[in-house]
Amino acid sequence: HERRYEARVPSQYRATDDGSILMLRTYPFGTSLNLELAQSLYTTVENLIAEMDPASYHRSMFVELGGEVRNRVEEYRVITTDALRNLVGGMTLQVLLLILYFRQPLRLGRFRTIFGKTAGLVTGVLRQLIGAILIAVPLVLSIIWTFGIASLVVGGLNTITVFLFVILFGLGIDFGIHTYSRYLETRLEGGDVLTSLEAAVIKTGGGIVTAAFTTAAAFYALMVADFKGFSDFGFIAGTGILASMVAMLLLLPAFVTLGEKLGVIHAVSVTVGDPKPLDTRPIRGYRPVVIGALVLVGVVLLFVPQLSFEYNFRNLRSNLPGLQGVKAKIHDLKMDAEGEDLGSSAVVLADNPEDLVALVEVLDSIRVHDTDFPTIQKVESIFDKFPQDQEEKLGIIREIRTTVDEEALDVVTGEDRERLLRLRTALDVDTPFTLDDVPLSTKRKFVGRDGTIGNFAFVYPSVLLRDGLNSIEFASDLNSLSSMEGITVPSGRTYFASSGSIVAADMLLLMQRDSKVAITLTSVVIVIALFIAFRSVTHTLLVVSPLVVGFALLWALQLLFGIKYNLFNMIMLPVIIGYGVDDGVHLLRRYLEEGAGSLRRVMKTTGWAVVMTTMTTSAAFGGLIFVRHGGLQSMGKLAVTGLFLVMLAALVFLIAALQWWEVRGGPLKPEHFGDGENGPS
């Protein structure tokens, strides 16, 4: 009996049985959700450990830090580091693609001496940078404008918007590629500088304006979301699109003119083949392409409801193996010390002790009666730390003490007498046990900064809260989601429980609701904007068609390979929508400008520009695939896949649809488009 009793007495330290590992817990004056506070606490503890130098006591001694504070700090460090790498790597790859696409001839044959050839080679190599410089400089200026405006409107960046530097660089490059490609194309056909700039700014510029306003509208539609990640992303991205449009249509022509005067621009073909001859042969195989795509869309739409969502928060965090070992040790120590690892608790704060007692009773009632999917394992308050029904128990103690004094002490000898004397000392209690008598080590987590005991309770879950569905159920059982009425006690007061998991559950539900609204609003805004720009239902449907087919292909891949949407990659859907519309706008405008029989020419000119813009934009998003944060990784994967699929749909399905329309119903008339053959400016 004595051994059983001693085994139930917890140690004042959390340690392994052999004493090789000891755990100390530090409580911040605040919440780990406050990144600045978490960083300050983490740095302070690190400095204290460094000052103590555990290895100086024994070479085998070392200290490891773990817990939510370290998780948040390390994740922030990973995100900022990866953001910088992604910015440098993505922009470097984009510039290299520009250099390759707008390459210029070296022309070393005209030099006869070694010195002349060397100088010509150096000059020729530097000339390769001209196209990239002409596009990059106005684009960088537009990004500076964008984040200057953003700093005034939305303030700082968050986990999602921090990557907008490289994303805007990729999206803005598209306008520069289309503008400069059209300029070089016209120069190759014999146009002078002014004529070529007019073709680039007025003809191609019309498509850029249409694409920019529809894409910006798609991003601005995200601002209706209550989810700050969506709303901030939408404002900054939409503003960046408009700023890059202005820069490319106003600044790029000025830089091109300067380059021509300095003699550093030499117009060479950036397309495959010679664009001059008008190849009017029809595109082959257009019927099976159109029919097959429409069948695919119909089939995929039947299975779209089966698309899944990623609810496991662990898969959306940074993959930091160094933290897993510490986490495992903490779990084992909790199991050894308490016989259970209750996980992250929620906290509910009452106004007074009476309401706290009532709150605990209500929560215990929920725990007991929830048999369908119970999520509450334990409710703990300061009142659990001292005995209940003390007067009744004091009466029993007095009876035992009387028995010991009058009957036992006179007849017991030896070790039994010593044990009885210890018992007699423990029985010397005549007054109730108060909160002040509870040891500080036991009540520490209930004590506030000013030393007073708080009127709050911890609610421990019985399910793993890294699963978003479990978090939602846990928050629902506590009646503490923002859409719920809270927990009401007999006094009439209402209270809400709070924790990181409850905030995450609320955010998850909010994001799911807002994403549906944002996507719907984005689609409606784009269709309206396209109809205003083209003034034709047929043209509008043709521009939107690559988007529909592209998403059908994307959803088919998601269904086949189990690719899930999540809190992060959902924000890529408006990006893919806006980008898919851009491809359709540029291809259709060029076809309307060139007229019947021009589809092969459109493919060789604007089509290659579409391929190039997709590659540069994918380079911007592709860097996210290699970051260590699971959520950001999923953003990159979905964006790159979606961009290539809508490009494929534009270059294959839209061209095939235009060919079928031309063969069956005659060519689309330019006069149907805007104000004439040049279209709206």
Span 141-174, pLDDT tens digits: 999 999 999 888 887 776 667 667 777 887 788 8
d(CA 208, CA 194): 19
Tokens linked to 425:
């000392």
Judge residue 600's burial from the number of C-beta atoms within 10 Å of its C-beta, 0-12 exposed, 13-18 middle, 19 or more buried. buried
What 8-state DSSP symbol labels residue 455? -
Mean pLDDT of 20-36: 71
Mean pLDDT of 180-186: 88
Given a cut of 80, whether residue 120 has pLDDT beyond it is no
Task: Assess contact for 215 and 578: CB atoms under 8 A.
Answer: yes
Given a cut of 80, whether residue 677 has pLDDT beyond it is no
The share of the chain scoring above pLDDT 90, in percent, equals 22
Which are the contacts of 134, defined by CB distance < 8 A and separation ≥ 6?
176, 180, 252, 255, 256, 259, 265
Task: Assess contact for 444 and 458: CB atoms under 8 A.
Answer: no
Please report the pLDDT score of residue 65 as a whole number.
86
d(CA 316, CA 283): 45
The length of the chain, given as a count of residues? 681
User: Phi and psi of 477, rounded to 5°?
Assistant: -60, -30
Span 493-513, pLDDT tens digits: 999 999 888 988 888 888 788
Q: Average pLDDT of the chain? A: 81
User: Phi and psi of 672, rounded to 5°?
Assistant: -75, -10
Distance separating the N- and C-terminal Cα atoms of the chain: 93
d(CA 650, CA 206): 19
Please report the pLDDT score of residue 475 as a whole number.
92
Span 268-281, pLDDT tens digits: 544 434 445 566 78
Tokens linked to 43:
């740095």
d(CA 280, CA 596): 8
Tokens linked to 449:
């900064």
Most confident of 291-305, 381-395, 463-477, 626-640: 291-305
| Side-chain-facing half-sphere of 63: CA atoms under 13 Å | 17
Please report the pLDDT score of residue 141 as a whole number.
94
The share of the chain scoring above pLDDT 70, in percent, equals 85
d(CA 624, CA 575): 15
Band of the pLDDT at 675, cuts 50, 70, 90? very low
Q: How far is CA 364 from CA 380, 460, 472, 497, in A?
A: 10, 11, 19, 14
Tokens linked to 77:
């460090």
Band of the pLDDT at 115, cuts 50, 70, 90? low
Q: Which tops the pLDDT comparison, 479 or 522? A: 479
Tokens linked to 556:
């088919």
Please report the pLDDT score of residue 676 as a whole number.
39
What DSSP assignment string belongs to 250-268? IIHHHHHHHHHHHT-----
Q: Give the position of tokens 């209270």.
A: 495
Band of the pLDDT at 93, cuts 50, 70, 90? confident
> Which one, of 334, 311, 313, 312, lies nearest residue 67 by Cα?
334
| Cβ-count burial 299-331 (b if 16+ within 10 Å, e if not) | ebeeeeeeeeebbbbeebbbeeeebeeeeeebe
Task: Assess contact for 629 and 318: CB atoms under 8 A.
Answer: yes
Which has the minimum average pLDDT: 38-42, 226-230, 350-354, 537-541? 226-230
> If you compute the radius of gyration of the chain from its CA atoms, what whole number of angstroms results?
35
Band of the pLDDT at 13, cuts 50, 70, 90? low
Please report the pLDDT score of residue 487 as a whole number.
92
Tokens linked to 123:
């000059």
Please report the pLDDT score of residue 33 as a whole number.
59
Span 523-554, pLDDT tens digits: 888 888 888 888 889 899 999 999 999 999 99
User: Left, alpha or beta for 135 (phi > 0: left; psi -120 to 50: alpha)?
Assistant: alpha
Please report the pLDDT score of residue 674 as a whole number.
41
Please report the pLDDT score of residue 288 as a whole number.
93
Given a cut of 50, whether residue 46 has pLDDT beyond it is yes
Tokens linked to 341:
């690892």
